[in-house]
Structure formats: C-alpha cells, structure tokens
Amino acid sequence: MEPFLRMDRFPHIWCPGCGIGTVVTCFADALKKGAFDLDRVAVVSGIGCSGRVAGYIKLDSFHTTHGRPIPFATGLHLSNRKLKVVVISGDGDLIAIGGNHFIHAARRNVDLTVICINNFNYAMTGGQVGPGTPVSALSTTTPFGNFEHPFNLPALAASSGAVYVARWTSLHVRRLTNSILEALTKPGFTFVEVIAPCPTLYTRRNKLGTSIEVLGSYRDNCEIRHGADPSTVDITFGGKIVIGKFVDVAGKPTFLESLDAAMQRALGKEYGLGKDYYMRSAGQRALVDREARHD
Amino acid sequence: MKASPEGVLTGAHYLDGDHACAEGALAAGCRFFAGYPITPSTEIAERIARRFPKVGGVFIQMEDEMASMAAILGAAWGGVKAMTCTSGPGFSLMMENIGLGIMMEVPCVVANVQRGGPSTGLPTMVGQQDMMQARWGSHGDYGIIALSPNSPQECFNRTIQAFNLSEKYRVPVLVMMDECVGHMTEKVVIPEPDEIEVVPRRLSPLPPGEYLPYAANGDKVPDMVTAGEGYRIHTTGLTHDERGYPVMTAEAQDKLVRRLRAKIDDNAGKIHDYECKRLDEADVVVVSYGITSRVARAAIDAALDDGLRVGEIRLITVWPFPSGLIRDLAARTKAFVVPEINLGQIVLEVERAAAGGARTISVTHAGGWVHDPQTIYHAIREGLRGNGAPRKPARKPRKEKQP
C-alpha cells in the first residue's frame, strides 16, 4: 500500500471502524491491478470525511470546496487529456450540494470515475441527515426520524447518463476493487457507490451495532443482482440492499470524443486539436520539455 | 516571453468590450474557458466558443457559476491558462471558488461585466457596484488584484495584463468591466504577436522530491507545477504548510494568511497601474475608473475651461488600492472627487488613504446609467471651496420636470 499513500500524513483522521479506509485500499488495489501510470492519475475530493481521501493518496491530489470536486475534476481533465481523473467523495458532497454538478457531468459523459462513499449522513459535521439517509433513520437534524425521501444514487446516475453504474459495500472488497478497476478502465462518466459504515455517528445513533456487526448485516442483507434496473434499488431502513453492476453501456462517446467529432465535422483541418497547443500557447516551454521527458 | 501567434488576431478591428476581452484572453494564451451565460458578459463566452476550436482551446458551458469557477481552477492545475466571465449575480456565486483559487494560489482570470444590483437588479444596464465585493467578496483575509478597463481597447489590453499578473503572483485576477465598456463598440488595435508580452507560468525548476508546493520565493510567491508531471502534489483549501498538507494551528494560519496578503501588498508598487494628469498643481483631483472615467472627462474639461486647477487619477489597478498616491496628494490638494456608479465604494478607500488630509467628495449614482457630467462638475466646484469639511454627497442634479 505504501507507494499509494502519503505515509507522512498518518495517522489519518478516520474513526476506528469507518468504511472509508477500506475504499482507499480497494482503490489502490484497483490502480495496482490495472497497472496505471500513477504519475498520470489525479484524485479530486470535496469536503467531509470522504473528502479527506485526496489528502492521503500519494497521487496528484486536490482537496477542493464542498460539492465542487466534479467541476474541478472536469476542468483538470479537459485541460490535460493525459490525466486519468478520479473523484472520491461523500454522499452529502456529491449528491446534495454537488448534485447539480453530478447530474451534468453524467449528462455530458465527461471521462471521470466518481466513487461515492455513502455512509448515510454528514459525518464530519456530526451526523446530520443527508440526501441518502433512509426514511426513519435518526440523525442530529432528524431527531424523530428522517421523513424525506432519499435519492437512489444508482438511479440518479443512470438516468443522468452514466455509462457505468455499480453499488457495493465496504464488505465486498474484492468485487468493489474489480468494479473500481472496470470503472477506471471504461471511458466516460463511471460511477461506483460504496455503502460504508459510520460507526461513530450513524450506526451508533441508529442502534445498528458495531462496525463488525454492520459488516455482518451487509453480508446478510445484501443481494447481488447484476443488471438490476437501477430504479428498483432504493435503500430502505433495515431493508435489503441490492448491490452489483447495474449499468455498463458500450459505445457512448465521451464529452471530448463528442467535442472532437463535432469540431472536426464543422471545421475539418482547421480544428486545432493534437497540436499540443495547450503547452505551447500558454508559453510553457519548460512544461513541454518535461512532457517530452515523460513520453 | 512573446504571445503565441495562433491566438492573436493582429489588425485593426471594430469590437465591443466583451469581444475585445475575449481576444485579449486568446492573445494572452488562455486555452480553457468555463462559463455560464449572464448578461451583459455573455458575448465574451460566445466569442471564445467560436474562436477556441481553431486554436486548440477547450470551451465548456457549465451548469452554473460555481462549477465554472471550479473548472477553471482545475484547468489551471492541468497546465493551461484559464478564465471565466460573469456579471453581478454570477460573481456572487463564484466567490466560494475564488477563495479556493486564492488559497491554492491558482493563476486564472475572472471578467465581471458589472450591471446594476443588488440581486437581479438591472441585467442590461450599467453598474460599478461590485468593487468592494471584488476586494472582500470571498470569506477570510486575502490579497487580490482587480483591474478596471475603460474602453474596448483597454478590455483587450487589461485582459492580457490580468493573465500576466495572475501568473506572476499566482492569484485569481479580476477584470472589473462594466456594462457600458462591455457593450460599447470602438476601434481595437491588436498588435503583432511579438509585440505582446505574456508571462508564462512560473514552473518550478526543482525535480519531484525536492519541490515543496507552497515554499515561497523572495517575492512571497511559490513556484507551481502541473498535474501529471510526476510531482504527486497535494493541494487543499484547508490551511496548509509548505508541503500543501493541512495544518490546523493558529501558527500555520498566521504564516499562510499573512503571506497571501503580503504577496500582493508587498508587491503593490509593481502591480499598481494608473493614469495621472496635472497632479502637481491640482486643487481638486478627480479619482475615477471604468466608464465613469470617460464621463468625468466632460466635467473636467468644463472645469479646465473655467480655469480651475483639476487633476485626474484614473485607476487601472483598483485592487490593490494605490493608498500611497492618495496619501501624498492629500497633503497638497484640497479635495478628491470620486464619481462611481454605486453609492460610494472606492470613495471609502480614497477617504481612508487621505486620512483627513483633504476633503473627499462622493458623487454617487445607483446604477442604470452613467453620471450626468454636471454632477461631477458641481462636485469639483464644491471641492474648491476648501479643506476640512466632512464628506457629503455632491449636490443632486435638478429634478426633471414631469411631462
């Protein structure tokens, strides 16, 4: 793991029993399995417990503002096509405050992999209700039980245009790793939701037991149903959690593929792509030299 | 270094300020633009959308202004020069990520074509009401650079200057246009590429392993790298140390925030740009910026015709504010007259810098149109009456008779 982590930043801030570290491990394993050039992988996070992932991963890593990792990552990707850009953040960050960015990046099919760690609450701020909190669950701001309908994240991603949608839990490390690898390898907007325990705030308040017991409930309560219609995978309090790979669309052009095709159609040879303009036009000879060294 | 020829539309053109701003960005080497349509700035985005594909730039219309601002920060880290444009309500939405740009020290440019506010206000009509927001709109303490062009030619020139300053000081630079300047059409001369000076990114010469992302140089600005070069940097909006790692202490906060202020304040002498006329023997000095500097022309000319000794300062750099210039002048002039299309914003800075040494007269306008030059003329006359009186608004123009 060490090559993937900023060991000089440990110990990390996550609580004992938190699921986020497991996701980091699975992500690192997926990078290793896929033999990615780690100099060309960037991680962008937002704010919250999951937002801290960027801080511990030893890649080019950006800890941005609340809800904005996806547009930040969009700019990073579109300005530097050689980068593989991954967004790792939480459900509050990506789906509530960043929900608009999430659906629009999926609609455009920007080539990003988005890993959303869903722990059913805002944990960094002390356990408030989130956009994925199941109905009747307790949080500090739903002291009498949540009465709002939560988002079904896979359905939201799929209906917005994501080309790859999967959901796993932090118990399913092997499948999660493979799924992240698939998502990283597939061009376009790929989305992996990971259900993870928040033992300090969510599971304790809701009397769901220790993290080990929560992982046990994932084992007992999860049903793997590949290809399930995403609209049927809602999560209810204490109910069955449907996991698996729900969407894997082939052949949908990415944002940049669509852009390039449209411009080439309209402008032909006038379209200024592939001339390594970015570097030259910005007047960055040093950067061009470094690029040459790299290739 | 000189501008790359691909983006430079050399020649004499008939352009409005928005289009000239777009051409300035192209000439400066901007190759990423993310924006959201808003009157009266949209023409900047429209021209860039048309021009970028042929020069290898990427234009993207985002879902909102928060996304636009976040995207240009990401793009800057990706290695390109990036900008966005907006107007009042969108400027408010960008403040969050302008703060991130300040904290991460990201070179980028934001053009704000000001309209009347607050809120939706006067979407198609002029204002200069975001001048204080430009300085203090994002939360926390920081230094910022804002420029104010007063013609389409200046929109071209100052946008290049904005990119150059942003690269030099690693800070978002705000081009504070206004609806009049953005929508007026005039002759704009775009020089040959080798006559346009552009500042390249200050990339670190150090190899990965030795490079510290936030170790500042003598000018208090750290060198930058680009994502994907093997540096494996971390950067965050949290208070951080030289490695870019979060440090939650008062000491780290003090060190970082003071440097973010100092890198602008201590270099202010090099950043400042203003036009001065007849300051040596002036009894009254008119301080203005943007379109108002051109409206004030008529008033100043009339006063000069009357034999009054009127000096002029046109602020090009509005932030950092040239306090020293005003302070020195306050010792030997009677009054400053400050017309602006707001109810008194930059006048507060003039008054602060003058520190009671000279009278400060605010000539206000709530927005929607430019001043009647008469009101500025009357304020000049009033300023001549002497020193020491408290600041009060210039005499109101006579009310028009109802038809």
How many residues are present in chain A?
Answer: 295
Residue B400 confidence class, pLDDT cut points 50, 70, 90: low
Alpha helices in A94-185 (DSSP H): 99-108, 153-160, 173-185
pLDDT band at residue A295 using 50, 70 and 90 as cut-offs: very low
Strands (E), chain A: 41-45, 60-63, 84-90, 113-118, 121-122, 128-129, 164-169, 190-195, 222-224, 241-248
Let me know if B12 is exposed, middle or buried by CB neighbors in 10 A (0-12, 13-18, 19+): exposed
User: Which member of B6, B32, B238 has the closest CB to residue A79?
Assistant: B32
Work out the average pLDDT over A139-166. 98
Task: Please write the tens of the pLDDT for every residue from A69-92.
Answer: 999 999 999 999 889 999 999 999
pLDDT above 90: residue A287: no
| pLDDT tier, B395 (very low <50, low <70, confident <90, very high otherwise) | low
Contacts of A210 by beta carbon, 8 Å cutoff, 6+ apart:
A17, A199, A203
Distance from CA of A241 to the nearest CA of B (A): 32
Flag whether pLDDT at A218 surpasses 80: yes
Share of chain A above pLDDT 90, in %: 89
Please tell me whether residue B255 adopts helix, strand or coil conformation: helix
- Does A102 have pLDDT greater than 90? yes
Predicted TM-score of the model (pTM): 0.95
Taking residue B281's Cβ as centre, other Cβ atoms within 10 Å add up to 9
Q: State the ipTM, two decimals.
A: 0.95
pLDDT (0 to 100) of residue B101? 98
User: Could you read off the pLDDT of B46-102 as tens digits, one per residue?
Assistant: 999 999 999 989 999 999 999 999 999 999 999 999 999 999 999 999 999 999 999
Q: Which residues in chain B have their CB less than 8 angstroms from residue A160's CB?
A: none
Residue B387: per-residue pLDDT: 52
- Overall average pLDDT of the B155-173 stretch: 98
Question: Strand, coil or helix: what is A140?
Answer: coil
Is B254 in a helix, a strand, or coil?
helix
Residue A290 scores a pLDDT above 70: no
- Reference A72, options B106, B361, B238, B298; nearest CA is B106
Q: Do A39 and B237 touch (CB under 8 A)?
A: no
**Strands B11-16 and B185-190, sheet pairing:** antiparallel
Contact A283 B76 (CB under 8 A): no
Judged by DSSP in three states, A21 sits in: helix
| Mean pLDDT within A254-276 | 85
Task: Please tell me the predicted confidence (pLDDT) of residue A272.
Answer: 77
A269: left (phi over 0), alpha (psi -120 to 50) or beta: alpha
- Cis amide leading into B320 (omega within 30): yes
- The answer, yes or no, to whether residue A216 has pLDDT greater than 90, is yes
For residue A288, what pLDDT is reported? 45
In chain B, residues with a C-beta closer than 8 Å to the C-beta of A8 are 245
Greater pLDDT, B400 or A255? A255
Mean pLDDT of the region A33-45: 97
Per-residue pLDDT tens digits for B238-296: 999 999 999 999 999 999 999 999 999 999 999 999 999 999 999 999 999 999 999 99
Confidence band (pLDDT; 50, 70, 90) for A285?
A: very low
- Give the dihedral of Cα atoms B92, B93, B97, B102; nearest 10 deg: -10
Pick from B144, B90, B150: nearest CA to B117: B90
Q: What is the DSSP letter of B241?
A: -
Q: Which residue has the tokens 């220790």?
A: A210
The answer to whether residue A273 scores a pLDDT higher than 50 is yes
Residue listed under structure tokens 């705030």: A201
Distance CA(B113)–CA(B127), nearest Å, equals 9
* Interval B304-323 mean pLDDT: 98
Give the residue from A5, A12, A59, A72 with the most B CB atoms within 10 Å of its CB, the best one to mutate: A72
A62 reaches B (C-beta below 8 A): yes
- Gap between the Cα atoms of A247 and B51, Å rounded: 37
Q: What is the pLDDT of residue A20?
A: 98
> What is the C-alpha separation between A82 and B226, in angstroms, rounded?
12
CA-based nearest distance B187→chain A, Å: 26
Portion of chain B with pLDDT greater than 70, in percent: 96
Q: Which of B29, B81, B246 sits opposite A55 (nearest CB)?
A: B246
Alpha carbon separation from B342 to A135, B262, B290 (Å, rounded): 50, 29, 12
Percent of chain B with pLDDT over 90: 94
Q: How far apart are CA A67 and CA A94, in angstroms?
A: 6
Enclosing H/E stretch for B257: helix B250-265
Q: How many residues does chain B have?
A: 403
Contact criterion met (CB below 8 Å) for B158 and B92: no
Mean pLDDT lowest for which of A120-124, A144-148, A284-288, B194-198?
A284-288
First to last CA, chain A: 26
pLDDT, average across residues A122-130:
97
C-alpha to C-alpha distances, A245 to A27, A118, A225, B221, nearest whole angstrom: 17, 16, 8, 47
CB contact under 8 A, B228 and A64: no
Name every chain B residue with its beta carbon within 8 A of the beta carbon of A267: 53-54
Q: What is the DSSP letter of B224?
A: B
**B-chain residue closest to A284, CA distance:** B200
CB contact at 8 A, A102 and A160:
yes
| Closest CA of chain A from B344, distance in Å | 32
**Has residue B315 got a pLDDT over 50?**
yes
Find the closest chain A residue to B245 by CA distance.
A55
| Mean pLDDT (chain B, rounded) | 95
Contact B32 A78 (CB under 8 A): yes
Summarised one tens digit per residue, pLDDT across range A163-198 is 999 999 999 999 999 999 999 999 999 999 999 999
Task: Dump pLDDT digits (tens) for A51-70.
Answer: 999 999 999 999 999 999 99
Structure confidence at residue A151 as a pLDDT band (50, 70, 90): very high
Under the banding of pLDDT at 50, 70 and 90, the label for residue A279 is very low
- Which of B9, B30, B31, B198 to probe by mutation at the A interface, max A CB count within 10 Å? B31
Please report the pLDDT score of residue A289 as a whole number: 45
Q: How far is A158 from chain B (nearest CA, A)?
A: 19
Query: Are B80 and A58 an interchain contact pair (Cβ–Cβ within 8 Å)?
Result: no
Task: Give the model's pLDDT for residue B394.
Answer: 53
Give the tokens for residue B307. Answer: 């034999």
Interface residue B64 vs chain A (CB under 8 A): yes
Quick check: B55 contacting A, CB < 8 Å? yes
User: Is B244 in CB contact (< 8 Å) with chain A?
Assistant: no
Is A275's pLDDT higher than 70? no
Q: Could you tell me what percent of chain A has a pLDDT over 70?
A: 92
Q: What's the pLDDT score for residue B6?
A: 86
User: Residue A221 has which token pair?
Assistant: 């309560």
Candidates A39, A74, A80; nearest CB to B71? A74
Q: Does B198 touch chain A (CB under 8 A)?
A: yes
Q: Which residues contact B218 (CB under 8 A, 6 or more apart)?
A: none
Buried b (16+ CB within 10 A) or exposed e, B145-169: bbbbbbbbbbbbbbbbbbbbbbbbb
Which of A257-261, B147-151, B320-324, B396-400 is predicted with the least confidence, judged by mean pLDDT? Answer: B396-400
Rounded-to-integer distance, Cα B179 and Cα B350, Å? 24
- Taking contacts as CB-CB distances below 8 angstroms, the residues of chain B near A100 are 63-64, 67
B5 touches chain A (CB under 8 A): no
Chain B contacts of A77, Cβ < 8 Å?
74, 78
* pLDDT at residue B401 is higher than 90: no
Q: Considering only residues 17 to 46 of chain A, which have any Cβ-Cβ distance to chain B shorter than 8 Å?
A: 38-40, 42, 44
Does B248 lie at the interface with A, CB-CB under 8 angstroms?
no
- Burial of residue A250 (CB within 10 Å: 0-12, 13-18, 19+) is exposed
* Cβ–Cβ under 8 Å, residues B224 and B201: yes
Residue A293's pLDDT is 42
Within an 8 Å CB–CB cutoff, is residue A270 touching chain B?
yes
Residue of B nearest to A10 (CA): B245
- Residue A207 in this model has a pLDDT that exceeds 90: yes
Q: Which of A271, A277, A289, A291 to mutate to test the interface with B (most CBs of B within 10 A)?
A: A277
User: Which of B276-280's residues contact partners 24+ apart within 8 Å by CB, and which partners?
Assistant: B276/B311, B276/B312, B276/B313, B276/B314, B276/B325, B277/B311, B277/B312, B278/B309, B278/B310, B278/B311, B278/B312, B279/B311, B279/B312, B279/B313, B279/B329, B279/B333, B280/B311
Judged by CB atoms closer than 8 Å, whether chains meet at A39 and B71 is answered as no
Residues B36-53, mean pLDDT to the nearest whole number: 97
In whole angstroms, give the CA distance from residue B126 to residue A110. Answer: 37
Answer whether A80 sits within 8 Å of B228, measured CB to CB.
Answer: yes
Output the DSSP codes for B138-190. Answer: SSS----EEE---SHHHHHHHHHHHHHHHHHHTSEEEEEEEHHHHH-EEEEEE
Lowest-confidence pick of A8-12, A273-277, B84-88, B341-345 = A273-277
- Find residues 97-116 of chain A whose CB sits inside 8 Å of chain B: 100-101, 104
Whether B232 and A286 lie within 8 Å, measured CB to CB: no
- Give kind and range of the element (H or E) at residue B113: strand B108-116
CA–centroid distance for A72 within its chain:
14
